[in-house]
Amino acid sequence: MVHTDSSRKEILDSLFKRFNQHSFIENDPIAIPHRFSSKQDIEIAGFFAAIFAWGNRKTIINKCNELITKMDNAPHQFILHHNDNDLKQLLTFKHRTFQTTDLLHFIRFLQQHYLKHDSLEPAFVKGMHSSDETVENALNHFHDYFFSLDNSPTRTKKHIPAPINHSSCKRLNMYLRWMVRKDKAGIDFGIFKKIKSSQLVCPLDVHVLRVAKELKLITAVKSDWKSALALTNTLKIFDPIDPVKYDIALFGWGVSRDPY
């Protein structure tokens, strides 16, 4: 197996070049926000797509499309201007452990936020300092902010984890990757401007963890915040400015199972 930094970088760069293609979008949950052109619609559709992103990708995409349809294919307008009758059409929606209670809280939070802000970015960056090495403080702040409304349901907390609770925060880190980084391939959007690509933490799902261990990028046994940081710090050896670009390489290869 690979042992040297130079050989690991060669493999990672090759995998990144292979999978960092516009064709990646079609079969990935990031296809959902790519349906839209306005910043707010991209943010909201992307947020739900990231939160739903566990399990079969085809199912995830189908469930996202179902929800967007129930929002009249206009997420931002729905969030701001829905009424009680509009909410009734959401009551039958669920995705795995994401139930009606969770969805209604998400809608309530997003409405309260977008009534005051034109972007979801402040929900993260208000917890950060410009000198922060990672988005750890941003994610902890987002968790607290998300559940700051009266009568926030306890059961929903499993869908919005936080580093302080040792979670790897895979789905939120993936969401921030989508919103923050940008390159010529056009997979990610680059619409969050106050978080640096170098501050992102690699989303650590089962595919990424497996490939990272095979390449000896980490020795972690389980997926938690410590492991996510360890992987990110290793990836910074190969690209300190945009380390999380390699998420596309690791995930892409993990799903494809093609030879290196």
pLDDT tens-digit profile of 22-65? 999 999 999 999 999 999 999 999 999 999 998 889 999 999 99
User: pTM, whole model, 2 decimals?
Assistant: 0.95
In terms of phi and psi (left: phi > 0; alpha: psi -120 to 50; beta: otherwise), the region of 151 is left
pLDDT at position 260 is 42
| Average pLDDT over every residue of 127-143 | 96
pLDDT over 60 at 177, yes or no: yes
pLDDT at position 257 is 67
pLDDT at position 39 is 98
3-state SS assignment for residue 28 = coil
CA distance 33 to 49: 8
pLDDT over 60 at 254, yes or no: yes
In b/e form, how buried is each residue of 90-104, taking b as 16+ CB within 10 angstroms?
beebebeebeeebbb
Check the CA dihedral 93-142-83-35 and report its sign.
Answer: negative
Answer whether 168's CB lies under 8 Å from 218's CB. Answer: no
Of 188, 158, 161, nearest in space to 176 by CA: 188
pLDDT at position 3 is 58
Q: Considering just the CA atoms, what is the radius of gyration of the chain in Å?
A: 18
pLDDT at position 255 is 86
Which of the four pLDDT bands, split at 50, 70 and 90, describes residue 1? very low
- Residue 95's beta-bridge partner residues? 98
DSSP states along 195-241: S-GGG------HHHHHHHHHTTS---SS-SHHHHHHHHHHHHHH-SS
- Residue 206's contacts (CB-CB under 8 Å, 6 or more residues apart) are 223, 254
More confident residue, 3 or 188: 188
Average pLDDT, the chain: 95
Distances (CA, A) of 183 to 38, 42, 180, 191: 19, 17, 10, 12
The residue ranges of every structural domain in the chain are 5-256
pLDDT, one tens digit per residue, over 145-154 is 999 999 999 9
Which of the four pLDDT bands, split at 50, 70 and 90, describes residue 69? very high
pLDDT over 60 at 17, yes or no: yes
